[in-house]
Amino acid sequence: MLAELARRKLVPEIWLPGPHVRAERERARFRLHLVKHRSSLKNRVHAILFQHGLPTPHRDLFGAGGRCLLARLQLPEPWASTVRASLALIDRLDEQIDACERELRRLGVDHRYIPLLTTLPGVAWVLGYTIAAEIGDIARFPESAQADRLHRAHAESRAVRRARPPRAAAQERAQPHTAGRNPYRRRMTAHEGIALPEQPPPTDHCTTTVP
């Protein structure tokens, strides 16, 4: 059965990355793993200060000024030990993340996709390396499928541009008896026994009195 389907080209092909691409992905993913752990520890320190009602005037609590503030705090146990252990782990993770980034920078110098990816707004070399590692070989994407996706995206964007909401003036002309009024507000106030002042009917033209 599978041989017959393959002969008729009805079995979709899959692309398996080689050892080089898998190594690139592992480096980028491991750096993201370390960054997530560091962010979790920083959030725990912020949560402890919030629980004890301690303000954080520094923009970066883990910079030079923030570290001085954390060293002066007199927290009870076990929160003081938790903060000290979290700071030690954050420093260790900083070293590991810096080492990973140095390796990514060294390996990404000659990458053919990173210079093009870094031209995108908001994409630096670290994110560019991560995207390039996840793409692998761009040649595995058929040009026909790329053109079809671009065509659908362009058609959807044109449909969104054509779908304009009706203007408020057109709504008022279509419903002159409710223009300038809120029937739901009047219904709610009538249910609660609140009397609202009568509103003058809307006019189509503005009139001014000249003294």
- Beta carbons within 8 Å of 70's beta carbon, 6+ residues apart: 45, 61, 83, 87
User: Tell me, what DSSP letter sits at residue 118?
Assistant: T
pTM: 0.61
pLDDT at 202 (0 to 100): 54
pLDDT at 76 (0 to 100): 92
pLDDT at 152 (0 to 100): 64
Query: What's the farthest any 2 CA atoms get from each other in the chain?
Result: 96
Name all contacts of 133-141 with Cβ < 8 Å and 24+ positions apart: 133/21, 133/24, 133/25, 133/27, 133/28, 134/25, 134/28, 136/15, 136/17, 136/21, 137/15, 137/17, 137/21, 138/113, 140/15
pLDDT at 182 (0 to 100): 53
pLDDT at 96 (0 to 100): 96
What interhelical angle do 79-107 and 125-135 show, nearest 10? 70
pLDDT digits (tens, 9 = 90+) for 91-144: 999 999 999 999 988 888 888 888 888 888 888 888 989 988 988 887 777 664
Residues 126, 118: Cα–Cα separation, whole Å: 9
Q: Which residues of the chain have pLDDT under 50?
A: 144, 168-169, 176, 178-180, 184, 188-189, 206-211
pLDDT at 6 (0 to 100): 75
